[in-house]
Amino acid sequence: MHVALITRYPPRHALDAGRGTAGYSKRLARALVAGGCRVTVLADLLDGEQPEYEEDGVIVRRVWGSGRHAISPIVEAIGAIRPDIVHLQHELF
């Protein structure tokens, strides 16, 4: 099963994922992978981060910025990856 998580996500190789939404989402994504799911995180854009990478079996695609223009790149990304389930973890605005 392919699960897409739409969420804020911590920087690549962050030693401490934190206790907020980004940290929770990282732990959730890793747990889903451990359970046998394929996971793609459609994450917030961060300065200095690659637009797409894999970490701990999780594919991270940084596609959206905050604000009213966040929806369009997310919809495009969902169409490109065609997941079985889409989970919106947190508000986008």
User: What is the structure's pLDDT at 49?
Assistant: 87
Of residues 34 and 66, the one with the higher pLDDT is: 34
User: What is the structure's pLDDT at 11?
Assistant: 79
- Mean pLDDT for all residues in the chain: 90
**Alpha-carbon distance values, 68 to 13, 71, 87 (Å):** 29, 7, 19
The Cα 34–Cα 16 span in angstroms is: 20
Query: Please, which residues have CB within 8 angstroms of residue 18's CB and are 6 or more apart in sequence?
Result: 10
| Average pLDDT of the segment spanning 44-56 | 92
| Average pLDDT of the segment spanning 54-64 | 96
Q: What is the pLDDT of residues 5-39, one digit of tens each?
A: 999 998 776 666 667 888 899 999 999 999 999 99
